[in-house]
Chains A and B, each alone.
Chain A
Amino acid sequence: MVSEATNTRKKSVLWDWLTTVDHKKIAILYLIAGALFFVKAGLMAVLFRIQLIAPEMEFISGQTFNELVTMHGTIMLFLAATPLIFAFANFAVPLQIGARDVAFPFVNSLGFWLFLSGGILLSISWFFGGAPDAGWTSYVPLASREFGGIGIDFYVLGLQISGFGTLVSGINFIVTIINMRAPGMTMMRLPLFVWTMLITSMLIVFAFTPLAAGLALLMLDRIFDAQFFIPGEGGNVVLWQHIFWIFGHPEVYILVLPAFGIISEVIPAFSKKRLFGYTSMVFAVLIIGFLSFMVWLHHMFTVGVGPIANSVFAIATMTIAVPTGIKIFNWLFTMWGGKIRFTTAMHFAASFVPTFVLGGVTGVMLAMAPVTHLYHDTYFVVAHFHYIIVGGIVLGLFAGFFYWYPKMFGHKLNETLGIIMFWLFYIGFHLTFFIQHILGLMGMPRRVYTFLEGQGLDTMNFISTIGAFLMSAAIIVLVVNIVYSALNSERVTVKDPWDARTLEWATHTPIPEYNFAQTPQVRSLDPVFYEKIHGNGEMKPVEPLDEIHMPNGSILPLIISIGLFIAGFGFISFHLDLFISPYVFIAVGGILTFGAMAARSLQNDHGYHIDKETVESMEKELS
């Protein structure tokens, strides 16, 4: 077929960002949006930690407390951690495998806009009668139409839309990683971050779909008066817990596996050693991914499903400690005897290891079904999962942030400010959450908005809140660092400012839109480092320099997402007393969404070509 390719016309900056399908720009969009949601959910945590700073405080009401806690958990998992991981995955995965772009650039952009519109739909609940208040797990009957507030309608529809975005992004990553690797990049030469993203994406495909089904059931119950979770009409409330945790447990690994991947990139780079036990690391990731689906019932030990089920799931849960232990030791052995450079990224990566071990140990404690009755719904559980999520995922994300920042934005972050931020965050984190283990063992229940005086809980709650302030201070230092470095840091012009190992460091900084002018030949694990030792320091190309075909940008993903946002709001507005009929919203949203989809299938979009001369002059300018 003859191409009707055209060169891009001059576009305004805003239009460019709204229509972009470039994985590097989408990565930055994810980074910004995820960071904003992260700060928002963090501020919510500070608010309810202030409420808990002293016994019988009346800083916020019990209802507001419930809403804040629910939104804190929901936003942190779905709208902060997931998009931040997608930011790094979108940025690094195509570069690390030597691809020009992802497999489905249009779908990639759709994934971002769906996540954002779902997130905004969830967030506007505050203005329409209150945020969701049934906990991030939204257990029925607390979340049923009889007991739950209007906010839960925003929860089900907001998460449906953003979850669909996550799902299509996951499909995109799987196809990209399997089909678009550069020559020589065999599966057993994939950087570990790519491996973890491949497994994570598979978990997304198999875990977000049950979530979509479960949310659909809850939506049908609440908005269309179905009877799934109404025991009097034949429904069953435990069904929700099964569906939710069949999603919810793999979700933990959807978030933590990429963090493992980032750590496995950062530690070798700053230890100047190949990752110890690469093969065992890959298999550990595979096993963890598999087992993550086999353990959901450990969230339900106290529901009463019987001793046999409890035993089976307790053992399956403890089994996960084995591959995780393999990973921990491999990281230690990678650092062992290495030439360690303690950059900020390495601070975060190295501190991740002991912190995550602590979270893992309490995980094994919680996995013992009989003992769980003592910990159930206490702060011990809160402490445990924050050690996994903050001490694991967030530390990993910060490591990745400092590591990839120069490649993403063309300058390094200030190291002094970075290390100040690290210590503030790390000390604040342990002050906040270590002490919650003890609070939990003393019997302080979670999800309760205040506590009484004279129970020995005062001092430790006070310390915990101070820790939350320290973590907030760390984030302020990070913001200062970003601004300061943007103004004062030297531009990075070399390809590889860290003396790193993997393929993303083989392109120019800033990265041209086509990533690699010529697809590189991969000859080893850690290809860039291999060429430094065995070659002339440059990747060998597998093709002559020629014109490059790139996809066109499109506004349609944004329109589809806006359409779903409007339609979703329409479904919610059945319970709102608005002057516009819900059917109007649903019709307008449906027309926008399906119209944009039809437009996409009818248009002829062959992308455009960057001709050889332009590529040559860009390459010359950058080197």
Chain B
Amino acid sequence: MADSVDVSKGLPANPEKATLDGKNKFLGMFVFLAGETTMFATFFGTYLGLRSGTADGPVAADIFQLPLVFIMTMILLTSSLTSVLATFAMKKNQFGKLKFWMWMTFLLGATFLGLEIYEFVEYYEHGLGYTTSAFASSFYTLVGLHGAHVLFGLGWILLLLLRNRKAGITLTNAPKFYAFSLYWHFIDVVWVFIFTVVYLMGIGG
């Protein structure tokens, strides 16, 4: 069990998987993400099925602003990189670096979310309300669900950082940071699909 392992001589090579508790969190997170994948797939399918159902409202090519979305994509991809750097620091037992890169991840994620809110407001002002058409509903639902996941991830990492601000890296919190970074990569991968399926296909047909 997590609290009976002696870490006075330094951390093991993979602190996130060194205890049964950590192994459970690791596997549990992967299974959870498998379920999330299926859920997002359903929303993607819905979007693909309904994206031509614009009902006299704006179509994708009228309103999507690719430059803004490109910047958002870059920011989110970078935040995945910083979370990788954080887990590298964790494996080397560098707590300060872990915290620094996790805070960077938080800031980049928050910037992304801010830009997404700005984007939605812009589209709304261009006449794409949530109830305008089936296309609008499925677009906002799919992208908004991703945004909600980003928001949830931000709250999660914030709580982790606050609670462990003085703890150092232990076999108890290493799996938690690691599980967060898995979640964060997942969000990033989903966004890559959104960028392709929603925005690029929306502009290019």
Chain A interface residues toward B at CB < 8 A:
1-3, 5, 103-104, 167, 171-172, 174-175, 178-180, 205-210, 212-214, 216-217, 220-221, 224-228, 230, 232-236, 239, 242-243, 246, 549, 594, 598, 601-602, 606-607
Contacts and interface: CB of A to CB of B under 8 A. Distances in A.
| Residue from A208, A209, A210 whose CB has the most chain B CB atoms within 10 Å | A209
Given A180-B20, A224-B130, A171 B137 contact: no
A226 B139 CA distance: 11
Contacts of B32: 171
Given A3-B4, A225-B131, A598-B159, A171 B28 contact: yes
Contact of B50 (A103, A167, A234): A234
Nearest to A216: B141
Nearest to A549: B1
Q: Which 3 A-B pairs have the closest CB atoms?
A: A234-B53, A234-B134, A213-B42
20 contacts: A1-B172, A5-B3, A103-B28, A172-B28, A174-B31, A206-B34, A207-B38, A209-B42, A210-B38, A216-B141, A217-B141, A224-B131, A226-B130, A226-B134, A234-B53, A234-B54, A235-B137, A242-B45, A598-B155, A601-B160
A214 B138 CA distance: 12
Report which residue of A178, A227, A602 has the largest number of chain B beta carbons within 10 angstroms of its beta carbon: A227
Contacts of A210: 38-39, 41-42
Interface in B14-57: 20, 23-24, 27-28, 31-32, 34-36, 38-39, 41-43, 45-46, 49-50, 52-55
B154 interface: no
A251 B24 CA distance: 26
Nearest to B7: A1
Instruction: With a 10 A CB-CB cut-off, give which of B46, B54, B141 has the most chain A CB atoms.
Output: B46
A543 to B, nearest CB: 13
B9 interface: no
A234 B133 contact: yes
Nearest to B159: A601
A169 B55 CA distance: 41
A227 B172 contact: no
A302 to B, nearest CB: 20
B166 interface: no
Contacts of A602: 159, 162-163
A167 B34 CA distance: 11
Given A209-B38, A210-B38, A179 B23 contact: yes
A221 to B, nearest CB: 8
Given A236-B49, A601-B159, A213 B43 contact: yes
A234 B46 CA distance: 12
Given A180-B20, A602-B163, A234 B135 contact: yes
A179 B24 contact: yes
B64 to A, nearest CB: 17
Contacts of B132: 227
A517 to B, nearest CB: 16
Interface in B129-180: 130-138, 141, 155-156, 159-160, 162-163, 170-172
Contact of B55 (A175, A212, A233, A242): A233
A430 B7 CA distance: 64
Contacts of B156: 601
B2 interface: yes
B133 A243 contact: no
A3 B41 CA distance: 43
Contacts of B136: 227
Contacts of B135: 234
Contacts of A243: 42, 45-46
Nearest to B163: A602
Contacts of B49: 236, 239
A175 to B, nearest CB: 5
Contacts of A242: 45
Nearest to A107: B28
A436 B135 CA distance: 44
B50 A1 contact: no
A220 B141 contact: yes
A608 to B, nearest CB: 11
Contacts of B170: 1
Contacts of A594: 155
B24 A230 contact: no
B28 A227 contact: no
B25 to A, nearest CB: 9
Contacts of A220: 137, 141
Contact of B134 (A175, A212, A236): A236
Contact of A175 (B3, B31, B131, B160): B31
Contact of B27 (A178, A225, A549): A178
B46 to A, nearest CB: 6
B28 A206 contact: no
B24 A175 contact: yes
B181 to A, nearest CB: 16
Nearest to A5: B3
Given A179-B20, A549-B1, A171 B31 contact: yes
A171 B20 CA distance: 16
A233 B39 contact: no
Contacts of B39: 209-210, 212-213
Contact of B34 (A103, A205, A235, A607): A205
A220 B53 CA distance: 17
Contacts of B172: 1
Contact of A235 (B41, B134, B141, B163): B134
A372 to B, nearest CB: 24
Nearest to A205: B35
A593 to B, nearest CB: 12
A125 B133 CA distance: 30
Given A232-B55, A236-B53, A226 B141 contact: yes
A229 to B, nearest CB: 8
Nearest to A4: B3
B159 A235 contact: no
Nearest to A239: B49
A167 B38 CA distance: 12
A104 B53 CA distance: 44
A209 B155 CA distance: 23
Contacts of B50: 228, 234-236, 239
A309 B49 CA distance: 17
Contact of A2 (B3, B55, B171): B3
Contact of A226 (B24, B54, B137): B137
Contacts of B138: 228
Contacts of B23: 179
Given A172-B28, A210-B39, A234-B135, 9 more contacts: A1-B171, A206-B38, A209-B39, A210-B41, A226-B141, A227-B55, A230-B134, A233-B134, A607-B1
Nearest to B37: A209
A6 to B, nearest CB: 13
Interface string B100-117: 000000000000000000
Nearest to A167: B35
B31 A205 contact: yes
Interface in B48-97: 49-50, 52-55
A32 to B, nearest CB: 27
Of B1, B2, B133, B162, chain A has the most CB atoms within 10 Å of the CB of B1
